[in-house]
Amino acid sequence: MTDSLPAPRISDLARSRGPGGVAHDVPDYLSGLNPEQREAVETTEGPVLVLAGAGTGKTRVLTTRLAHILATGRARPWELLVVTFTNKAAREMRERITHLIGPSAEGLRWLGTFHSVAAQILRRHAELVGLKSTFTILDTDDQERLLKQLLEAANIDTKRWTPKSLAGLIDHWKNRGWTPEKLPSGEDFANGKGQTLYAAYQSRLATLNACDFGDLLLHNLTILSKHADIAEEYRRRFRYILVDEYQDTNVAQYLWLRLLTSSTGNVCCVGDDDQSIYGWRGAEVDNILRFEKDFPGAKIVKLERNYRSTSHILGAASGLIAANRDRLGKTLWTEDQSGDKVRVRGVWDGEAESRLIADEIETARRSGMNYKDMAVLVRASFQMRAFEERFVLLAIPYVVIGGPRFFERAEIRDAHAYLRLIQSEDDDLAFERIVNVPKRGIGDTSVQKILQIARHNGVSAMAAVRDLITSDELQARTRTALSTFVRDLDRWRALAADTRHWLLTETVLEESGYTDMQKADRATGPARLDNLKELTQAMQSFETLGTYLEHVSLVMDMDRGPASDAVQIMTLHGAKGLEFPLVFLPGWEEGVFPSQRSIDEKGEKGLEEERRLAYVGVTRAKQDARISFVANRLVYGRWTSQLPSRFVDELPIAHVEAESDTGYYGASAGMKEAKNRWDDAPSFGAGYTSPGWQRAQAVTASRAPAARPARNTVIEGEGRLVATADPKTGAGFKKGQRVFHQKFGYGSVRVIEGNKLTVTFDKAGEKKVIDTFVEKAD
DNA sequence: GTTGCTTACCTTTTT
DNA sequence: GGTAAGCAAC
């Protein structure tokens, strides 16, 4: 196994390059670093906080530090815990370390995202929190459907109290490390039902042998805090801990780290408080701001020398971020004095904006720049479409990074549901998803009946189905459909044993009629079939179906093929950690960026986060950053006047070159009104309504609950949360017992086999029924 | 049980 | 303006 790998080969590498490598004791890999970077790499013992500004070589420091620890024999690969936030970051880190130290990087078993490492740990100790080690990880869709069931069972109006909002709330609670028992008072949902619903949800998850994303960490916290021996084992194992993007850790992740770090811990956190942009996901900038208090004697290293951008870009970004109050403060500098000022353009509307950017892309292209060196970074994905349309029109190649996530597409989830059900018959959510996809004539009523039986008997839906098809509860047609379904599944399961999983997938899609169903859909079918093809292709790089499914549940993202020469379109969040020679930053308008919602929900804190996002955006640029805003935008199909973003005003004029042609467009079309400042343009103030439209919506929404009280405010007892069978029914039937059945009427019991009764009905004749569907009659 | 129409909601951002 | 869920009609 990994433990028997040869010693790290970095020593070879250290000697291999350059004549200077032998002259000093300084290994080759350290020689290219500046003094601060060296310090960050060589301070291996004790807590270290590396404040790495944008473009200061953070990843290089991180990977070199790891290589250094390994090369100097301080630890072996499997004794390092390395956590990142995104899969992309984890992947990149692994690649770069492999490049530095060779194949022994494979021994880095504990390198991954918080969630994937937590999942690994949880699999080993699942039984301590009432799960089996084979637990499945639910995605948001599964989660919301489950919550919807719970809400409905509790008679809560799911329009007013949406499953989505409850999911968000529960996630928020989990991010803070709150189990249902530890939920502080004041945290609530649906008038006092919050905690009960949360508890009910957790117990449903346990029944399903499943957990959600938040649970991965929350269960870890439970295990590590309740079992001192286990925590101690991990503390001994992880001799060095490295955390990337520390500014984005939430409370749960923070607590998790603390549990895994001993008092003398060699923990190194790297981050940039100015780039904290995940507050909405529970990130606490405070974690990084109070590092010194948490780890007394911690060494703080600031990386301020920027190697990425020109001084104008850095100047613009620094001026912008200076408006934030909550920061540790650092000053980026560069020796690169070349380059143009940041260009700011105000144009008439969204179409003009996409035209402008497309034109500039073509100009840049003509001057020899590759498409892939240009990026359009937007605040929210709805902004992407305008650019896509324009680019298609002009045949500018582009790729949308992020966008609708591959694994969230309906057809991919359907395929997964089939596979999950083949792999584990207990997967009720998978069952629900595909029993009737493609249509088999198993409607909602039947499905509900199946689920009811399953829940009542404490078995899986599939088990209930197997039961039901030998009874007369369901219509003959439904029964036939279900038997076919069961037979198919059994056949595929048998097939799975000796078939490669991607071939199995193809067979299943074919034989289930799924492919035919898509073929029948002329509109979306072809694209979906393409996606499925892509899916089976991607599956081939995994050993087994199991490893594949584990991977997709954690990595909701897929490695696409090698980057082609195309303009990259992505959100600002998605752009973090990347860099491009030429960056376009459209949509800098109040309400769009900063997003109104962010301000409404989190006030000044929200605004500061938006500003950090702007900072992230500008600092992605190496040579040129081009910001733009429009005077009019089509929102929800409605024209709205826009005001330039306050961030535009905050850019220091010394580093900006601005021009707006929106001024008198209406009066004299095409006339350009060049000026240095644009906020005095009379036309902006004139018909200014935005962001009123959004605010008005928010107000209506938040008032609605008070004005219209829920119909079902009183819900008796907690037990009502989960549907229970009618109390009049139950086991204990005797031969000859008179019974009543909703559909078949009165009759008497003739045979009893487990939960199945053969009843001779007075009118309907002899039928096999499930005991929960009959009542005793006198 | 399925099809086709109407309506409500939507637009943050991701593991 | 687009989409997904919900509802009435087949």
How many distinct helices (H) and strands (E) make up chain A?
32, 21
Residues with Cβ within 8 Å of residue A239, at least 6 apart in sequence: A74, A75, A79, A80, A266
Model pLDDT, residue A557? 61
**Tens digit of pLDDT for each residue in A209-230?**
899 989 999 999 999 999 999 9
- Is A177 annotated as a binding-site member? no
For residue A631, which of A705, A683, A693, A697 has the smallest C-alpha distance? Answer: A683
Cβ(A388)–Cβ(A400) below 8 Å: yes
For residue A727, say whether its CB is under 7 Å from any atom of strand C: no
C-beta atoms surrounding A395 within 10 Å: 6
For residue A419, which of A509, A354, A348, A531 has the smallest C-alpha distance? Answer: A509
- The H or E element spanning position A774 is strand A774-776
The residues that bridge with A659 in the sheet, in sequence order, are: A345
A719-722 long-range contacts, CB within 8 A, separation 24+: A720/A153, A720/A154, A720/A155, A721/A150, A721/A153, A721/A154, A721/A196, A721/A197, A721/A200, A722/A150, A722/A153, A722/A200, A722/A204, A722/A455
Phi-psi region of A300 (alpha: psi -120 to 50; beta: other; left: phi over 0): beta
- Is A53 annotated as a binding-site member? yes
Write down which residues 133-162 in A have CB closer than 7 A to strand B: 140, 159
Q: Round to whole Å and give the CA distance between A196 and A586.
A: 45
Residue with CA nearest to B1's C1' atom: A443
For residue A636, say whether its CB is under 7 Å from any atom of strand C: yes
Please give the backbone phi and psi of residue A4, each rounded to the nearest 5 degrees, phi first. -105, 15
**Tens digit of pLDDT for each residue in A742-777?**
778 898 999 888 778 888 888 888 888 888 788 888
- Is A59 annotated as a binding-site member? yes
**Tens digit of pLDDT for each residue in A105-119?**
888 999 999 999 999
Write down which residues 634-653 in A have CB closer than 7 A to strand B: 635-636
- Is A73 annotated as a binding-site member? no
Provide mean pLDDT across the span A404-415: 79
Q: Round to whole Å and give the CA distance between A242 and A373.
A: 31
Q: Which nucleotide is nearest to A410 (CA to C1')?
A: C4
Pairing of strands A299-303, A342-349: unpaired
Model pLDDT, residue A25? 60
pTM score over 0.85:
no
Give SS3 for A155: coil
Residue with CA nearest to C2's C1' atom: A636
DSSP A493-515: HHHHHTS-HHHHHHHHHHHTTHH
For residue A203, say whether its CB is under 7 Å from any atom of strand C: no
Provide mean pLDDT across the span A736-740: 88
The residues that bridge with A57 in the sheet, in sequence order, are: none
Catalytic residue positions of A, numbered: 58-59, 244-245, 275, 620
Distance A179 CA to B11 C1' (A): 31
pLDDT value at A433 more than 90 = no
Question: Residues of chain A with pLDDT > 90: what percent?
Answer: 32
pLDDT value at A778 more than 90 = no
What's the token pair of residue A317?
Answer: 């970004």
Q: What is the mean pLDDT of chain A?
A: 81
**Tens digit of pLDDT for each residue in A159-183?**
778 888 888 889 889 999 999 998 8
Please give the backbone phi and psi of residue A527, each rounded to the nearest 5 degrees, phi first. -65, -40
Question: Residues of chain A with pLDDT > 70: what percent?
Answer: 86
pLDDT value at A696 more than 90 = no
Q: Where is pLDDT greater, at A5 or A531?
A: A531
Distance A635 CA to B2 C1' (A): 35
Q: Round to whole Å and give the CA distance between A230 and A593.
A: 46
pLDDT value at A702 more than 90 = no
For residue A674, which of A423, A433, A306, A345 has the smallest C-alpha distance? Answer: A345
Strand C nucleotides, any atom under 7 Å to a protein CB: 1-2, 6
